[in-house]
Amino acid sequence: MEPIYLSIQQKETGDKIKRLLKENGYTVRDVQTAMGFENPQAVYKWLSGRGLPSLDNLVILSKMLHHSIEDILVIDGDFALYGSFKFKLYVQ
């Protein structure tokens, strides 16, 4: 199996988060409160593309913004390989 190379585009993801926040009427302060942050620096870091939210914070953002994590992240990579794989879902 060949490796799949992916890269999350931080700047573009930050721009997308910024746009989605605006579309949903949320401010940086709203996100700060929802995440339980004492200050807004982390949110500004995401919006500027200097960092990405943790997985936990991406889940919160996806719920706030009514978009999946995949819709929030801007990913550059080789997705053509996915078509040749068969995935099975195991439920316990």
Domain boundaries, the chain: 6-84
pLDDT at 41: 97
What CATH fold (topology level) applies to the domain 6-84? 434 Repressor (Amino-terminal Domain) (1.10.260)
Give the confidence band of 78 by pLDDT, cuts at 50, 70, 90.
Answer: low
**Identity of the amino acid at 47:** L
Catalogue the E-assigned strands of the chain. Answer: 6-8, 75-77
**Identity of the amino acid at 26:** Y
pLDDT at 88: 46
pTM value surpassing 0.85 = no
